[in-house]
Amino acid sequence: MKGFFRVAWLVVRKDMMVEARSLEVVSTTLFFALTVVLVFAFGLVREGTPVGDVSAAILWIATAFSGTLALGRTFERERQADTLRALMLAPADRPAIYAGKLAGMLLLMALVELVLVPLVGLLFQAPIVAYPWHLAALLLAGTTGFAAVGTLFAAMLVRARSRDVMLPILLYPITVPVMIAGVRGTAAIFQGTPDPDLARFWIALLLFFDVVFVTLALWTFEPVMTE
């Protein structure tokens, strides 16, 4: 068990070090997230005010889109230098490598969300500080579910043809429950009369989703990554 966390930590550290030196994925993903929010703003803001309760949806769509982009870029980098093969050849547990990749992805997406949330609050007048813990729990649980499936699929697709288009095609239908739970949960605390109990229900559903899909992914990673 100690070996598992050590390997996972080493993978995270490696990814963070590469990222810190190039800043490629962080900067492009952040800018992309900003662009997505602005595109929505131009589409949905009428006479200075947004139509309906769209802020929750925009937050989650921007997260999902930029997450997909980050997943693609992270694994593309591993493919170009053929370093994923080296990682797979390392005498380490495959699930531990997956866990490390997932943790790195979560850190990256958390960074993007730290910028996205205030931005959505600012541009769409969303009450982001009304229930900060609920919002944080929703984002954490939702992002974990999204990244758990995304990391596995992105890793699987490294060797596949037309992987760029395949990742969203495979990932979005599977993560529909995450999107529904995330958007509805966030909307429940953003709306005029907030409903924290409803948000708590969605957090519970997301946690359940996380447990099932992280377990499944840890389990599936070994057979799908074996050539």
Per-residue binding string, other proteins, 160-179, x by CB under 8 A, is xxx---x--xx--xx-xx--
H or E element that contains 49: strand 49-50
Can you list the positions of beta strands (E) in 10-101? Answer: 45-46, 49-50
Rule CB under 8 A: say whether 54 interacts with other proteins: no
Residue for token digits 């803001």? 45
DSSP for 123-166, written as a single string:
HH---TTSSHHHHHHHHHHHHHHHHHHHHHHHHHHTTSTTHHHH
**Contacts for 34 with CB less than 8 Å, ≥ 6 apart:** 115, 119
Q: Which stretch binds other proteins (CB under 8 A): 10-18, 21-29, 47-55, 203-211?
A: 203-211
Q: Which stretch binds other proteins (CB under 8 A): 14-22, 34-42, 79-87, 202-210?
A: 202-210
Residue 125 Cα distances to 61, 122, 180, angstroms: 17, 6, 21
Token pair for residue 29?
């993903």
Indicate which single residue of 1, 49, 197, 227 sits in contact with other proteins (rule: CB under 8 A). Answer: 227
> Which of the 8 DSSP states describes residue 32?
H
Compare residues 14 and 79 and give the one whose CB is closer to other proteins. Answer: 79
Compare residues 37 and 218 and give the one whose CB is closer to other proteins. Answer: 218
Compare residues 100 and 145 and give the one whose CB is closer to other proteins. Answer: 145
Per-residue binding string, other proteins, 130-149, x by CB under 8 A, is -------------------x
> Which of the 8 DSSP states describes residue 108?
H
Per-residue binding string, other proteins, 179-198, x by CB under 8 A, is -xx--x--------------
Q: Which residues bind other proteins (CB under 8 A)?
A: 149, 152-153, 156-157, 159-162, 166, 169-170, 173-174, 176-177, 180-181, 184, 201, 205, 208-209, 212-213, 216, 219-220, 223-224, 227
